[in-house]
Each structure stands twice: as C-alpha cells, then as structure tokens.
Amino acid sequence: MKTKPVRRQKPVQSLEINGVRYEIAQRIEIIGKVLKVVGGKWKLLIIYHLTTNKFCRFGELQRKIPGITRRVLTLQLREMEKDGLVHRKIYAEIPPRVEYTITKEGYALRKVYRQMLYWAAAHPKLLNKANRSEDK
C-alpha cells in the first residue's frame, strides 16, 4: 500500500528565531553546518549515551554502541571535542584513565534525538522497511 503524498505548504520566506530573522538560503546553510557537527552514523548515539550518563570511559562507550570500531569512536570523539560537544578529562594515573562528559551545548542536542524517537514511534512501518532493505 502506497502512502499518500502530503500536500506541501509554500516555504516561509523569512523565519524569526530568538529575535533574528533567517531567510531560506540562511536556514539551508545553517542546517548544513549543524549536520557537519552532529551528522553521521555515530555522533547522536554517542551524545545519547553521554547525556544519559554522568560520564563514560572509552571502553564503556564502545560496549554501549554495537558495531562501532575503536578507530571510528576515537575519530568521532576527537571531532566532537574539537566542536565543543564533548569534554575529555585525562587523569594522571597508570594506566591512564580518560573520561568523556557532555558539554552544555552537547546536552542541548538531547531534544534532537528525542524528536527522532517521537518520529520513529509515529512511523514504525517506514523504519521496518528501512531495516529490511539494510539486511539485504
């Protein structure tokens, strides 16, 4: 059964957020920048685990995110630290201990993954279909 197309409204030419007006081109540019910071397969999962725990160690994060390799987790955490989403604390111990915590800016992204969960709950057939095609 095919889904019916949604009747689309004309895009709002100008949108005001916190007293600042954004034109369509500016919004597209901003969305692109946001996707560079939080996009990819793993970053929102890392953010999820760091927002639901006070802190996480590297091995703990790797166990909580099935399928992520050590190298990819390292690269993602470095990018997120550089972008100001994650704080990395190194303890002067032997063996060295490193803990990752979410920053205030990173914590604000919990609203993004919550909206994704609401969307997923509203569209289970679409997700099941996507999972079946991924298995092939």
Residue 40: band (very low, low, confident or very high) from pLDDT cuts 50, 70, 90: confident
Judge whether residue 2 has pLDDT over 60. yes
User: Per-residue confidence at 121, pLDDT binned at 50, 70, 90?
Assistant: very high
In this structure, what are the phi and psi dihedrals at residue 116, rounded to the nearest 5 degrees? Answer: -65, -40
CATH dotted code for 41-114: 1.10.10.10
The residue-averaged pLDDT of 5-31 equals 79
Stated pTM of the model:
0.79
What is the rounded average pLDDT of the residues 115-129? 89
The whole-angstrom separation of Cα 27 and Cα 15 is: 9
- What's the pLDDT at 52? 93
pLDDT tens for each residue of 44-70? 999 999 999 999 999 999 999 999 999
Tell me which of 74 and 16 has the higher pLDDT: 74
**pLDDT of amino acid 48:** 94
Task: Look at residue 1 in the predicted model and tell me its pLDDT.
Answer: 53
CA-CA distance, 62 to 91, in Å (whole number)? 19
Asked if 86 contacts 77 with a C-beta cutoff of 8 angstroms, the reply is: yes
Q: What is the pLDDT of residues 109-120, one digit of tens each?
A: 999 889 989 999
Assign 122 a pLDDT band (cuts: 50, 70, 90).
very high
